[in-house]
Amino acid sequence: MTASDRLEAQPQGVNRPPSIPPTLEVRDLRTVFLTDAGPVRAVDGVSFSVGAGETLGIVGESGSGKSVTALSLMRLLEEPARIVGGSMTFQGRDLLAMRPEELRALRGDRMAMVFQDPMTGLNPVIRILRQLTEPMVAHGRFTPPEAKQRAVGLLGRMGITAPEKTVSRFPHEFSGGMRQRVMLAMGFANDPALLIADEPTTALDVTIQAQILDLLRQLNAEFGTAIVLISHDLGVIGAVCRRVAVMYAGEVVEEAATAEVLADPRHPYAWALVNAVPRIDQPLGEDRRLVSIEGAPPDALALPAGCRFAPRCPFKIARCETEHPPLAEVAPGRLARCWVTQAGQVLPRAGGAGFGGTRAASTATEPLLAVRGLVKHFPLPRESLFGARRVVHAVNGIDLDVARGETLGIVGESGCGKSTLARLITRIHAPTAGSITFAGQEIATASPAAIRPLRRRMQMVFQDPYASLNPRMTIGDILAEPLVAHGVVGRGAAARERVRDLLSTVGLNPAWEARYPHEFSGGQRQRISIARALALEPEFIVADEPISALDVNIQAQILNLMLDLQQRMGLTYLFIAHDLAVVRHLCDRVAVLYLGQVMESAPAGALFARPLHPYTGVLISAVPVPGRTRVVLQGEPPSTLVLPTGCVFRARCPIARPVCATAPPLAEHAPGRWAACHFPGEFAHGEMGA
């Protein structure tokens, strides 16, 4: 029985016989935040129900009210938030009428929650075992010895190796993925009827995410636990949930089976969400632009009178501006809050020609950047006066070429050295060994002063739009600073003019130059960050996960902007990401990193169609795609403190053989296709693209 068969077998909310009451029934829930400026309607009339053993996903961008909905369900909200209307019934009991002690008895028992951040969700000074057994004993379901046995069993069930030993450890000894397993085990400790998971995989790598999602699906099938999964990623929801509710501005705007929403969304916002992300299971078109909707969610203090999505909607009609649409059935079992689709209109399929932004034909030229044998080791502080100094092997011999005008994608799990690589190429760090040749000049060993003139030609865009802009400088000053420092323009009018040009280049209002970074949203800040990188008119931009901190729609906007700029200015990109679908979509060539070494590098299309290295294969397979069985990579990347001998991937490789004890060289197996494997192409992954 495959995973998708199990999904088919689940009972459905709409088809449920009326005699069985649902596990959780929410009707017209309204939660407001009482702020100084007025009440903010975070959740505004949300209704849904989850039956025993069902799975419901809640998806939406940040600020759409999905997390507040989850907290409302658990009655975990504190002032200034307040539930002001609606009803919530859990197993026939009214949650809103419960006293605090009744709620306490319920939480962690019949109804459990798993939070987003596995790093802060566990108490750092209590051993794992006690954290797990505490709720079991406290709710009186198990005696301490039983609880201990069950805790060990659960951890084993969650895929933690040697659980009887690991339970006596402290949380800091666990990696993020292992902690999320512990959190899940805590969630399932008392065999709850309902598990609410708020972005449980957002902080994790794709391979770990795939393991956790598989686990959620199995636990749902095995124990019949109903699951409410909250995520910003429709792919994640599609991997676990049969039904999905799409939230926008505090309302459910569409509710239907996940597969149907993904294939044929009936609300324009859902349509935008579906089409803003490139899909790894769809053929790669010539067109590289993504669908993105402009604008921002409405001000929660001044919601529009009509449809809340109308100001941003590409399909709106006159009625949308004035009348608020109800959530009504648009097809059997499908609800949408849209006048257009309720009138029977079908939303167009995205993509197709007309947007421009086609792939650059690869031309063999002298590479703009050539990296050879690059090594970076970070020595750790001595643990004792006479102890040996331990070393983090971040980058261990990387060879790369980036040709002028192309986009090279770098992918890999966290800890594979991709961010270090970016900081070595931009010489924020000095490499331990190896050479970096940029535009014919050796920069690996050059002094900071010698590199300074070259900085005009090579720039960087950072991951975190909240940390990469100096909060104490205005946007105008931030953008003018490099211009003045390099003597491109003098202070005053010339600099101001250039700053205004830059702002309009990245699609921001030039009049905003006097504002401070905190006045901008994440997406706008990332545009400012890009404008700063463009200020010196570089040829080459290193982008270190520029979109991973952003909502999907903003991601699409930033990717489109980067494509436009590349076309207009002939830029060369080194694009670092962990989202494989995005890399496949944007990049001409891709290099896969593992433990600071290149496992495979090839043109994007070929690499994703037929990976040569087994690691590439499992990485691609880990991307959540609804209804696809996956090759889940077990375990986690080994420690970078001691490098394994032989092939670095050998310990986790599904096809490893004795010969892998000798390290395979990075060799060219087909024109332009390099792989470091003794058995290139032998790892079959038949489900790809199915």
Partner 1 sequence: MSAAIALPAVRSRRARLWRRYGLAGVGAGIVLAWVLVAAFAPWLAPWPPDFVDVTNRLRPPSAAHWLGTDALGRDCFSRLIFGARISLLAGISVVAIGAAFGTLVGMVAAYARGLADAALMRLTDLVLCFPPIILALAIAAALGIGTRNTIIAMLVVWWPKFARLARALALVQRSQEYVEAAVVLGLKPARILGRHIVPNAIGPLVVLVTLDVGNAIITFAGLSFLGLGVVPPTAEWGAMVAEGRELVEQWWVATFPGLAILTIVLGFNFLGDGVRDWLDPKARR
Contacting positions for partner 1 (CB under 8 A):
30, 32, 34, 36-39, 41, 45, 82, 84-85, 324, 423, 426, 428, 451-453, 455-456, 458-460, 462-464, 467-473, 481-482, 485-486, 518, 529, 532, 535-536
> Residue 467 Cβ, how far from partner 1 at the closest point, in Å?
4
Kindly tell me which of 392 and 451 has the beta carbon lying closer to partner 1.
Answer: 451
Q: How far is the CB of 174 from partner 1 (least distance, A)?
A: 24
Closer residue to partner 1 in complex, CB, 55/524: 524
Report the residue number, 127 or 429, with the smaller CB distance to partner 1. 429
User: What's the closest the beta carbon of residue 591 comes to partner 1, in angstroms?
Assistant: 21
What is the closest distance, in whole angstroms, from the C-beta atom of residue 305 to partner 1 in the complex?
11
Q: Which is nearer to partner 1, 542 or 599 (CB)?
A: 542
267 backbone dihedrals φ, ψ, rounded to 5°: -120, 135
Give the total residue count for the chain. Answer: 690
What is the closest distance, in whole angstroms, from the C-beta atom of residue 172 to partner 1 in the complex? Answer: 20
Q: How many angstroms separate the CA atoms of 415 and 176, rounded?
A: 12
Q: Which is nearer to partner 1, 89 or 459 (CB)?
A: 459
Q: Kindly report the CA angle at 390 between 387 and 392, in degrees rounded to 5?
A: 170
Nearer to partner 1, 198 or 251 (CB): 251
CB contact burial 362-386 (16+ within 10 A = b; e otherwise): eeeeebbbbbeebbbeeeeeeeeee
Give the Cα separation of 224 and 232 in Å (integer): 25
Please say which residue, 527 or 585, places its beta carbon nearer to partner 1: 527
d(CA 625, CA 234): 9
Residue 72 Cβ vs partner 1, minimum distance, rounded to whole Å: 15
Q: What are phi and psi of 244, to 5 degrees?
A: -140, 140
- Whether 412 and 418 have beta carbons less than 8 Å apart is answered as yes
Cβ within 8 Å of residue 379, ≥6 positions away: 389, 390, 391, 392
- The CA distances from residue 385 to 388, 390, 560, 642, in Å, are 9, 13, 53, 21
Given the complex with partner 1, which of 533 and 581 has the nearer CB atom?
533
* Nearest approach, Cβ of residue 298 and partner 1 (Å): 15
Reading the block at residue 452, the tokens are 């300074």
In this complex, which beta carbon is closest to partner 1, that of residue 73 or of residue 528?
A: 528
Amino acid identity of residue 160, one-letter, is I
Contact assessment for residue 404 and residue 341, using Cβ atoms and an 8 Å cutoff? no
Pairing state of beta strands 243-248 and 572-576? unpaired
Euclidean distance between CA atoms 39 and 666, whole angstroms: 60
- Smallest distance from the beta carbon of 89 to partner 1, in angstroms? 20
Cβ atoms < 10 Å from Cβ of 628: 19
Instruction: Please confirm whether the linkage preceding 546 is cis (ω < 30° from 0).
Output: no
Q: What minimum distance in Å lies between the beta carbon of 544 and partner 1? A: 9
What whole-number distance in Å separates Cα of residue 169 and Cα of residue 152?
Answer: 12
Residue with tokens 């803003």: 276
Minimum separation from the CB atom of position 419 to partner 1 (A): 10
In terms of CB distance, is 432 or 459 closer to partner 1?
459
Contact predicate 413/355, CB 8 Å: no
